[in-house]
Amino acid sequence: MIIAGQITATTVYLVVVQNTNGELRLITPMNYVTNEFSGFTQILKLYLKKINKPIKFACFGIAGPVINNEVQTTNLPWQIKAAELEDEFSIGQVKLFNDLVATAHGLFELKPNKIISLNEGVDSKDGHIGLIASGDGLGQSLIYRDENNYYPYASEGGHVDFAPGNQIESDIWEYLYAENGQVEVEDILSFQGIENIFEFLLYSKKIKQPKWYSEVNEKPQKIIEYALAGDDDLAIETIDIFSDCFASETSNLALKGMTLGGIYIGGLIAKQIMMAIDKKRFMKRFVKNGKMETLLKNIPVSLILDDKTALLGAASYAMKKNLL
């Protein structure tokens, strides 16, 4: 039997992978809330007890830098080692992927209705591909294309320094730098980043926290909700700033990876806000009107609607490895 999983800061998704006449099927899905467990092994033990069959191959997409098939998760106090999982649970082989590398593998399994175009561009048949996803953190990866072969590889680009694009973004940088001594892109482009932007606007405008904000625990989600409903000007401004910064970082990834084959945007935040924001404004910031304006205008930009693409990618990789 083959299993696959996607491990985020808040949830672990596990499935059994089936190959039905060459078609990928995911069965026996289970979700686990991460803060209810001290580590991944406790979750895996529960799941394996449920399916109660020997596992010959397992593949997991995890938010964090995977080195030598081991990972210290970025937003969880978990260390996961493939060799230890193989020994403890008698699994034939365990493969760990960065979650955005798993997403890259899943990209080719998505149905057309799971992808929406933001910019048609000009698809270069030999162009590389970029992925960027914002949620609990900011993930990035690239897919190297060599004719008809695709080779996903990991990046920790979400942890590079944040580069402001205008005065208000410079002020946000100063505000966060004064608190933390550094400002990563992820400090802006994540759920925590949305809260950081909103807190800055409250501070800079000397506005008291609104009741709808101060009395909830899931503050970033509430900001998004109020912004999309048009119920709070500060929330709207927060999402506008987030969108501008996200467009800039997406453009940075496109330039660094020469992603003439396209940029794909994923993650929970994009799924929530990208359908509602001004796409012309987003693309104007993406293009930047600089030396690479023409190149950027020609890059296809698409939105991934399936927030479990990493799970699909881990399952796809596992199935293909077991067909070899």
Q: In this predicted model, what pLDDT tens digit does every residue of 170-228 receive, in sequence order? A: 999 999 999 999 999 999 999 999 999 999 999 999 999 999 999 999 999 999 999 99
H or E stretch at 178 = helix 167-180
309 neighbors 106 (Cβ within 8 angstroms): yes
- Average pLDDT over the chain reads 94
- Cross-strand pairs, 302: 117, 264
Give the C-alpha separation, 246 to 213, whole Å: 23
Q: Average pLDDT in the 271-284 region? A: 85
222 neighbors 167 (Cβ within 8 angstroms): no
Q: Average pLDDT in the 41-54 region? A: 96
Torsion of CA 66, 70, 74, 75, to 10 degrees: 130
Q: Is 102 helix (H, G, I), strand (E, B) or coil?
A: helix
14 neighbors 3 (Cβ within 8 angstroms): yes
What is the model's pLDDT at position 324?
Answer: 44
132: left (phi over 0), alpha (psi -120 to 50) or beta: beta
- Cross-strand pairs, 20: 23
91 neighbors 75 (Cβ within 8 angstroms): no
Domains in the chain, CATH or no CATH each:
2-105+308-321 (3.30.420.40), 115-305 (3.40.367.20)
Residue 133 has pLDDT above 90, yes or no: yes
In this prediction, residue 124 has a pLDDT band, given cuts at 50, 70 and 90, of confident
Residues 6+ away with beta carbon under 8 Å from 244: 165, 166, 169, 281, 282, 285
